[in-house]
Structure 1
Amino acid sequence: MLRLVGAGAGNEAGQGAVTPVGQNELLARVAEGDQQAFSELYDQLAPRVLGLVRRLLKDHAQSEEVTQEIFLEIWQTATRYDASKGGASTWILTMAHRRAVDRVRASQSSRDRDTRIGIRDLPTDYDNVSEAVEITVEHERVTRALQRLTELQRQAVTLAYYGGYSHSEVAEMLSVPIGTVKTRLRDGMIRLRDELGVAS
């Protein structure tokens, strides 16, 4: 896993316990190029990021690799973070989910290429081709529909249904009451149903 020199340093000596710095403040300092703040942010959030990525990728080695890529992206793009749109952990976990989904899609594309090559050797297997096309088209429809949700609804839906987190876990990640999470999920799923034209 990615580690920075100096991670966790500076809190041992001194007079009494040091209050942990908030993640929003740490991310603001990272945007200014503060490596110590980056180390502290990594220590606080790396386990949660890795956990989210592993839920999607399953493979531990790939999950560690993607987690490193995520923290590199955080270091490079911290200036884009807007605290008015949500907490630092929400911003980072959303980024982590996107990266993990991108990796899943890339792996799926590779498997699809292998399948297409195999299909050339099995020219009579038309049903599988038709099914693969239908699945791809449906996935694209769902992806487009998700983009039409509000940012808050999309966060809740992706964490709960793609990330596999419980309502209480989503509430903790987004720093909102569980009732708010349920409302966002309900409204998001109603809107998805309407976008996809699914009968209620």
Structure 2
Amino acid sequence: WGLEQAMEGEGSFLSDSPLSPLRYRGIAWLNTLRLRYDALTWRWQSWVVGFDRAEQFRLLNKAFDGISARKFMAVLLASGLLVLGPVAFTLLRKRHRHQLSETDRCYLRFCDRLAGAGVRRKPGEPPLDFAARAARELPALAPGIQRISALYVQLTYALEPPADSAALAEFRRAVRQFSPPARAAAGS
């Protein structure tokens, strides 16, 4: 009654509301129903708030017919594996490594050979820029470097790559035949 008494002097406290409990306080069975609902709410809240570890264990013991902590952990682990196992399997199966195309593998072999000759490709360096730099540093090999790089760009970046495998065969052959001299060891 505290709030009702405090607002009594004003006279407008919930007076217009059709759901105001003050409107129906003269009806005994409705008052009893409201008080029982309050008691039920209080019990529920005190049970939830007071739901400590001992209460949890008692509930689980009752639900699982005398389960020990070890058995409970085993059941929890097994149910977790049943739920997460298929999810993990699906995610790991889809996580296949990115497969390089044959063209990319050949080009990387070409880059490795140039690195052996002392010209390393910089991270993110476009193929034609790398070819121009390599041709400047190894002028004797410039025609081969330019040809291989042009074939790679044509096979990889063209809007309509060649439909026949002749261009790929030519590219593979050019990379296979490309053999720059190894860089001389330092101090020789």
Name the TM-score, length of structure 1 as normaliser: 0.21
Higher relative contact order (CA 8 A, sep 6+): 1
Q: Which structure: larger Rg? A: 2
TM-score with structure 2 setting the length: 0.22
Which structure's residues are more often helix, by fraction?
A: 1
